[in-house]
Amino acid sequence: MNGDHSGQTVLVTGGTGYLAGWVIAGLLQRDYRVRTTVRDLDKAAQVRAAVSEQAGAGAARAVEFAAVDLLRDDGWDEAVAGTDYVLHTASPMPFGSGVDLITTAREGTRRVLGAAARAGVRRAVLTSSGVTADPGDPDTPATEAAWTVPSGTPLRAYPDSKILAERDAWGLAAATGLELTAVLPTFMQGPMLGTSRPGTVDIIRRLLTGKIPAIPNIGWNVVDVRDIAELHILAMTSPAAAGQRYLGAGNFVWYRDIAAILREQLPEDAAKVPTRAMPDILVTLLARWNPQMAMLRPELGRVRLVDSGKARTQLGWHPRPTEQTIIDTATALITESRQGLAA
């Protein structure tokens, strides 16, 4: 896996993030020099411990850190100075973040990519989202040619933040000459590095712990976080990727199918996984006061079609089977729980 990249430096934003940890580990395994951003330098030890699980302690010790904030101008030019590539993976997440999702995503993108343009980096890669490529027709597969129209509604603030931030990114690239590529992941699952606690894996955690009494009629295009990290690195270096968008999607899977996979493959640990279906009307009622249910309500019974053939053919990207991702996620959560009980 190692390559002759020891003289090249990559800045990865949001070093404590779920995706960023896997990106950093993948870069270190290929002998890139890595610098990453955190809001607090006290997080450096946490990041090093996380990536050392995959890249080794020696490589992790070499990671550089820059303390910056997506909502402040200070420090971004210094963070980018001397780097060859910038991978902008940092983005605010919904529920409990306590921040203005749209403002933070848009201003952060402007600051990071603006600094990258001023520094003359070879290429910047933006972590966007599959929600930015919705064709608007449930029978038409999403492709990179589609551009989602923002909803402008508070309940869709997170999707809107990704849509608007990517639009801003392409506008900035056109105005400055920055070479840009965007990666559009769908619903990421997969094992966590270190103490990262991504909200997305909560769908499997809640099944395993019996936190939901019944399973709503919803599903996702599940993709492995490790495969999306790989897609970022491919997008960073491939000549074909300049100025392109790439959907990183796995197979569509219903929540009830995830539950069935857990019960079949991990029967002892999945004893609390529910078998009952949650009526759509109950989701609709709960959506009146539960923000998470309100976000789920439009997805009831909807199968999202996503075509990630462009990444496969142009970049040689090969995501792992969805069932493997689900089991690996569950296994990581089970291991974490057991270690917590042992402590």
Catalytic residues: 162
Element (H, E) at 218: none
- Quick one: how many helices (H) and strands (E) in the chain? 13, 10
User: Residue 227 and residue 221: Cα distance in Å, rounded?
Assistant: 13
Inter-residue contact 16 to 49 (CB < 8 Å):
no
**Token pair recorded at residue 69:** 């904030």
User: Residue 179 and residue 122: Cα distance in Å, rounded?
Assistant: 7
Q: Look at residue 233 and give its three-state secondary structure.
A: helix
User: Residue 15 and residue 51: Cα distance in Å, rounded?
Assistant: 10
CA 326 to chain centre: 16
* 206: nearest Cα among 147, 162, 132, 262: 262
